[in-house]
Structure 1
């Protein structure tokens, strides 16, 4: 994993899946976790700052409460398991990191914490301060209050969003698989993909949505989504197997998703968003204009949907339905609907006030 050496990657986010941290009986794999702590300590001594996104709370809590299906039989079971398991999970992390002379800190976040700009900046400031103090933040989704409608649902994408908030240069997803294959790796002839320069339709078609262990909530689809989020923020992402001892210090096969040239912090936040309040469909001419760096004008929009206010995030789709951009609306939904397809003079008549310069200004818009 030379790509994630301290010299080239001052800040690293490490995500650990439930199947690695918790055994089939619902107990912590403590010896393996102690090896992870030793790896983190080595990196810290070399000058690297590491944050951990740790699954496992639901699996641990389900065992303690005797809940079926690993605590995932219902939302209520998952919330109860998370509340019970999180305290045990944080204690284990504090102990194994403490044995290496490191201080652990717990951060529980919800989707809203990272989707709302002000709360995102608050989380980013906390992460930055903790890492600057030499603390190892251990982060998880706050599943005890998350709902089906408002949640990350997997820690792969959470890790990518945390990397973005922390200004990290790399993300390692430790998983029960050693990377991306051109088809389900259980099938004969499956070929491992070592490096991905660009995530396109061909790469997305290789993903298998299943979680091999049955314990986690994300498969390869979520990992590719995470790579897209991390890459847009300028962070490389690796998927590698955690089914070995000391996986952060042992050379092993993996898939590297190479980051794009870093966007501005605000545009990276927009690109990494998982929720949008509305959707605009635009014509081919407008797509070309956006690709050339222009703002989105009402004249190029063919339809709008959703209940959104000025400043809300909108997905922007081309005539084929594919989302091509995301941006902040300059209008509430009712006013946006009133001026679709209209030129500037006609907009003034429809609105009864002077129109804004664009529906979505290029300064608040990012191509996907």
Structure 2
């Protein structure tokens, strides 16, 4: 079966850092590389940043907008020019493309999530390269992706990609910022989830002037993607042609090994696409039952509820110290759980006057967090 590859290129790679104008030579090389990959039978998706940066350049703004409304307006100006450049370059190569604009809200709704999956599959079957960006014009602050690194990882999880390439302004991940620290050590490979968590704990939040990302967001993207069974690579955005060499086994960039893809598609949706709207704190027995035996969550194991939410919404499950152990879809609202917490399931109808389910979260609607 053909491999599926998601390539995300950052604002610092598609624009000139000093001016925000488009880096045409880099984009042209990227188009050639992706067209060659598709011609070789691979299914290719491009996630491209740069709309806001291009909009700033077109409107002669010297810095990224600080308000949501202005940022959305500037992104709308830049998105049209950005996709036109891509269309011109790919048309020269006789490669059809499609523009796909997403918001987090569309991935939260299960029906639209499935529809998006089907759309991607249809485009890839038609040998089209989808070019994806966040729909900044309509995204709301609470439900935006925050950065295209996260979105690219969610897209890679959605389409069950084999690879996610994060093209950025450094050639790989380092122990410190190589632009400031000459003793920074390169990190070539990350194999285990523990290694990735240690990197996340030590990562700084530096990034370019025009982008919203940085290594923090790229490591989070790697966590999401590798957890969904997608091998992830951080490498230099000015040299997209190196993707060919990496696919052939070259040790270029920082490569994150994929974890086993054990969860089904619905559980990956719960784990990565949903935004938890509350927290349930559990006693030791409930934590052990969920973590060690994969059991459902019963009301007796809940000690505290945070947030206001309705039945069917996503919540985080935490141990007594506040560490996340799982997340899932609850069968009861926060108000109902506050009444039944600490009680056995058979007491639910006596307390509430009705029973929606014996479990607060069924194991089929729950995903453990390692």
TM over 0.5: yes
Residue 255 of structure 2 corresponds to: 256
Report runs of 4+ in structure 1 exceeding 4 Å deviation.
none
Superposition deviation, residue 355 in structure 1: 5.5
Residue 239 of structure 1 corresponds to: 234
1:205 aligns with 2:201: yes
The range that moved more, 346-355 or 47-56, is 346-355
Tell me how large the CA RMSD over aligned residues is: 1.7
**Gaps spanning 5+ residues in structure 1: where?**
1-6
Residue 365 of structure 1 corresponds to: 366
Q: What TM-score do you get using the length of structure 1 for normalisation?
A: 0.93
Superposition deviation, residue 12 in structure 1: 0.4
1:115 to 108, 119, 132: 108
Q: Aligned with 1:163: secondary structure?
A: helix
Q: Aligned with 2:242: secondary structure?
A: coil
Superposition deviation, residue 190 in structure 1: 2.4
Contact 2:107 2:274 in 1 (8 A): no
Contact 2:172 2:188 in 1 (8 A): yes
Partner Cα distance (2:343, 2:36) in 1: 61
Contact 1:32 1:246 in 2 (8 A): no
Q: How many residues align?
A: 359
Partner Cα distance (2:321, 2:176) in 1: 26
Partner Cα distance (1:190, 1:48) in 2: 35
**Gaps spanning 5+ residues in structure 2: where?**
none
Contact 1:240 1:252 in 2 (8 A): no
- Residues 227-270 of structure 1: CA deviation (Å, up to 9, x unaligned): 12112221111111113362323556311122221111011111
Q: 1:25 to 1:183 in 2, by over 3 A?
A: closer
Residue 3 of structure 1 corresponds to: none
Contact 1:181 1:206 in 2 (8 A): no
- Residues 317-341 of structure 1: CA deviation (Å, up to 9, x unaligned): 1111111111000112211111111
Partner Cα distance (1:273, 1:44) in 2: 27
Partner Cα distance (1:207, 1:96) in 2: 36
Residue 279 of structure 2 corresponds to: 279
Partner Cα distance (1:244, 1:252) in 2: 14
Partner Cα distance (1:197, 1:90) in 2: 36
Q: What TM-score do you get using the length of structure 2 for normalisation?
A: 0.92
Contact 2:13 2:23 in 1 (8 A): yes
Contact 2:172 2:253 in 1 (8 A): yes
Alignment of 1:137-156 (within 5 A): 137-156=130-149
Superposition deviation, residue 49 in structure 1: 0.7
- Residues 337-368 of structure 1: CA deviation (Å, up to 9, x unaligned): 11111112332321112362211111110011
Partner Cα distance (2:184, 2:92) in 1: 41
Partner Cα distance (2:320, 2:173) in 1: 31
Partner Cα distance (1:207, 1:270) in 2: 26
Alignment of 1:1-368 (within 5 A): 10-23=3-16, 24-69=18-63, 71-185=64-178, 186-200=180-194, 201-211=197-207, 213-244=208-239, 246-250=241-245, 253-262=252-261, 263-273=263-273, 275-291=275-291, 292-354=293-355, 356-368=357-369
Partner Cα distance (2:251, 2:237) in 1: 10
Superposition deviation, residue 144 in structure 1: 1.5
The range that moved more, 31-40 or 239-248, is 239-248
Superposition deviation, residue 188 in structure 1: 4.6
Contact 1:172 1:239 in 2 (8 A): yes
